[in-house]
Structure 1
Amino acid sequence: MDADAVLGAISFETDIKSLASAEFLVENITESWDLKRALYPGLDVVCDPECVFIANTSAIPVTRIASATDRADRVVGVHFMNPVPLKHVVELIPGHHTSEETLRRTRDLLATMGKKPIQVRDASGFVSNRVLMLTINEAAFLVHEGVASAQTVDEVFRGCFDHPMGPLETADLIGVDTILQSIEVLYESFADSKYRPCPLLKQMTEAGLHGRKTGHGFYSYAPTEG
């Protein structure tokens, strides 16, 4: 399916009332608990009572998200990996109240997408981001402290470990601002100093150096010519 066909199958709306007939809702707003907590009660009112809420959260626990709704049994976490079309495995995270029926329906939906779910327990960052965010944060510290450039850090990971992308290239792909938000959630959740955000991530976020989506991050990206 080409890009035009994909876009032709998508409707763009700004009014949440348009979600009234949805059987599944995948929430993917900014990784901010304040924003998510404000959004979900409105979704709860608008959406059909049987609609399953799928939270594509990077680090916020699913049980916390479900607490903002009146349908905790129909809230589940699905952590899609970036870039979604190229990654066939997802983390499936049931919250404390997520029902087996919700898990079944979600697995069936994922199967239609060609995604393989790996179920993990509900804990901040789950498996992938609890490890990945630490790696990216520490890589940022190496740049911040002048130990190595971003290019050198990534070259070590590509060359020594056969990673297709280094941690700071990955940060630019995900978004430096999203990395910062995720590591802040981990720091708040576990109260562990190992999750202390690197000051460079804060500075870059404040400067608008968010990576590929802004054209500048740890690397600069030339605009694509149309």
Structure 2
Amino acid sequence: MKPEEIHLSDWMRILVGQVPGSFYIEAVFRLVFIYLLLVTSMRLMGNRMGKTLTRNEIIAMVSLAAGGGVALMAPDRGLLPVVIISAIVVVYQRTIAWLAFRNKRFESAVLDDMSILVKDGRMQLDKLEEGVLCREQLFAQLRHGGIGNMGMVQRAYHEANGNFSVLTFSDGKPRPGLSLVPVSDQEFRQEQRKADGQFACAGCGHLQPSSHMPYVSCSRCNHKEWEPAVLG
């Protein structure tokens, strides 16, 4: 449209556009066609497309949506290009899945790999940085699993699909560790049982035996802030 043809008072153009009324009937057909095409494409790409997705699978879904969006709204665009785009995306996704199944190195390079965020009650800060994660995101995931302190965690993994999985120590013994209760909830923090003679680094969860609050930097991460270790 030319600039002089655009007027804010032209409500018919704003609401209806510049297409004949018959196009809205055609749009219903286009919508049904593209919907069925997307459902078929996602089924061909496997059951993974109905669950938590990896970055590669998200890219495939966005590509499918982008390919069908223009044809749905523009009367001068045909549906055949949408079919071609969908076929390319499906073939690409199935090829990636086939290669990843047969080559672990290729799978790690293309689909990413899991990383260990917590080992034996201590955070792996380099892995948090690689995953662009902050401590509070990790703490929230651990609290969601009913874990009250970092010492209970034997391993915490950040999976390739973005999910978290946590393994606690199997012996069931109470272990001291950094409290996972938010600082803003001081009332609940006070209810947690303190571990006598143990302090936890607020930066990584490393434990430091001491009869008083340590004034030295953490030997693992050089963080200078310490908290009383808790058991619950």
TM-score by length of 1: 0.23
Greater per-residue strand proportion:
2
